Structure 1
Amino acid sequence: MKTPTALMALIEDGVIDAVLRPLKSGKEAAVYLVRSGDHVRCAKVYKDMAQRSFQQRVQYQEGRKVRGSREARAIGKATRYGRRQQEAEWKNTEVDALYQLRDAGVRVPEPHGFFHGVLVMELVVDADGAPAPRLGEVELGPEQARAFHGVLVRQVVRMLCCGLVHGDLSPYNVLVGAEGPVVIDFPQVVSAAGNNAARRMLLRDVNNLTAWLGRSAPELLDTWYGEEMWALYEAGALAPDTDLSGHFEHDEHEADIEGVRDAINEARDEALIRQQGREAAELED
């Protein structure tokens, strides 16, 4: 296998010793198994702007902090420099989130550093020491599905207590490690307080997991953990160890003004995303 250019710099700097093999490739990044001393780890190489999906990126970036005033102005004006800075911030977001969530006790891979745009982190393994499968690739019995659901709901609560919402959580962003589920892939993580779509994304995250695990444990389909935890969060009453019941009383008379506003914003954002994609492709020509 030819060593990817992005990983050559890490070998030259002594961060890793060798690239063993590709592990997986997705729309945002490619992940490789690498050797660092006596350890086998993952190296996540983010794809270039022109190669990556721009779908719905704008809504994820709302409320994110930018590291400098010049960069913030450039991003706001959507200049080419601004879009490069936006891309850098997109990568840094996952790194920052991993360190923050790991310190808060959330089950995420342990990060080992960010070098030359490459994230080096723990390789999550199964009971046999092989790379852990994704939740969407394993069959679970009812008892295990209920247990996994409880663990994952607790991880979402702990993330929310950190002020973060995963934003793209699904059975394919969860690894089944030797000690249970581990949540991965955070470049799209959003600010719970700073993003107007945070509630909707949180509910979608929880519903995605519940729908999948509810195939094995159907009683989970009658729970409302996402709505319950968001209501507690808004009231300032949510803590990492808060006991949840899964019950929630809906206000059936409330007008869906937020849903209408979101539909309008998404149409506007999609037009901007398409423009950014075309301009990014021109930069590569």
Structure 2
Amino acid sequence: MPRPDWLVTDAAAIDTELGVVKTGKEADVNLIERAVPGAEPGTPGQSVLLAAKRYRGSEHSQFHRSNIYTEGRGTRRSRDARAVAKSSTFGREVARVQWAYAEFEALKRLTELGASVPYPVQVGGTEVLMEFIGDGRVAAPRLAQVRATPGELRELFQQIVEFTRTLARSGLAHGDLSPYNLLVHDGRVVAIDLPQVVDLVSNPQGFDLLHRDCVNVCDWFSRQRLECDADELFSELIAEVYR
């Protein structure tokens, strides 16, 4: 669904924390309700549920993002780059902020491309605010949790192929695609966990990561007894890159 304009323009909007949706080694995802009361007493207001992804602090995090994803990316401040390379306490904090902003930028770019991802709302520090994918307050299941008929599996697979094609046409790959970072909501596949999106030209590992994406996806669908050839998919995507 498109992002309502008032989410980022209405100064009267109030955020309410509704609890943790998911915890992970690198980040926690909290549920937020952003609401604007009615303009007049008794008139209905507007509200929407959002996901706040918060990269965890150094005292709690097991942050271990590989630098293979960041090859070809620039760091403006040399002091920050040195700190990240040394993995000092300051460097790890810089890395978390960088990942949050990288995820927000990836969400913006992929939304503009028409890829199926949560719409971005805002970023600040180590928190990324984005569309919540789910029913009510219940998050949509990961693809790995879905039990589907053969026909439904084919439809889900085709959606994932189209997602990867959309990225490949712009010289991009998810870089860490798997059944665990693809959500399924009302039959729609939505890709999440995007800070590692790689540029296939500037990152020397880009095509290896794209191939790994194909293998991860096809291995899962093959286990569900849907015929899928990772190398064939990879070749199709390479052709999209060089169209």
**TM-score category by the smaller chain?**
0.7 to 0.9
Give the letter aligned to residue 224 of structure 1. E
Per-residue CA deviation, residues 91-119 of structure 1 (Å, 9 max, x unaligned), is 21111000000010000001111134211
2:66 corresponds in structure 1 to 57
2:176 corresponds in structure 1 to 168
1:152 corresponds in structure 2 to 160
1:20 corresponds in structure 2 to 18
Give the letter aligned to residue 156 of structure 1. T
Per-residue CA deviation, residues 111-152 of structure 1 (Å, 9 max, x unaligned), is 1111342111111125x7842111101111111111111110
Between Structure 1 and Structure 2, which shows a larger proportion of helix residues? Answer: 1
TM-score by length of 2: 0.80
2:191 corresponds in structure 1 to 183
1:105-144 aligned at under 5 Å gives the runs 105-126=114-135, 130-144=138-152
1:71 touches 1:85 (CA, 8 Å); kept in 2?
no
Q: 213, 218, 222: which is aligned to 2:221?
A: 213
The CA distance in 2 between the partners of 1:52 and 1:226, in whole Å, is 34
**Distance apart, 1:73 and its partner CA:** 5.5
Range that drifts further, 16-25 or 30-39: 16-25
Give the letter aligned to residue 25 of structure 1. T
Gaps of 5+ in 2: 1-10, 36-46
**Distance apart, 1:56 and its partner CA:** 5.8
Per-residue CA deviation, residues 178-211 of structure 1 (Å, 9 max, x unaligned), is 2510000012222211111111111111221111
The CA distance in 2 between the partners of 1:186 and 1:157, in whole Å, is 16
Q: 82, 93, 99: which is aligned to 2:102?
A: 93
2:7 corresponds in structure 1 to none
The alignment status of 1:35 with 2:36, answered yes or no, reads no
Give the letter aligned to residue 18 of structure 1. T
Q: 214, 228, 235: which is aligned to 1:227?
A: 235
Range that drifts further, 145-154 or 51-60: 51-60
CA 1:202–1:110 in 2, change beyond 3 Å: closer, same or farther? same
The CA distance in 1 between the partners of 2:196 and 2:118, in whole Å, is 16
Gaps of 5+ in 1: 1-12, 238-285
The CA distance in 1 between the partners of 2:230 and 2:149, in whole Å, is 18
The CA distance in 1 between the partners of 2:189 and 2:82, in whole Å, is 39
The CA distance in 1 between the partners of 2:54 and 2:12, in whole Å, is 17
Q: What SS does the aligned partner of 1:33 have? A: strand
Range that drifts further, 197-206 or 55-64: 55-64
Runs of 4+ in 1 over 3 A off after TM superposition: 13-16, 49-56, 69-87
Q: What SS does the aligned partner of 1:205 have? A: helix
The CA distance in 2 between the partners of 1:49 and 1:59, in whole Å, is 21
CA 1:206–1:131 in 2, change beyond 3 Å: closer, same or farther? same
Q: What SS does the aligned partner of 1:224 have? A: helix
Q: What SS does the aligned partner of 2:29 have? A: strand
TM-score by length of 1: 0.69
Q: What SS does the aligned partner of 2:134 have? A: coil
1:210 touches 1:221 (CA, 8 Å); kept in 2?
yes
The CA distance in 1 between the partners of 2:64 and 2:85, in whole Å, is 20
**Distance apart, 1:228 and its partner CA:** 2.6
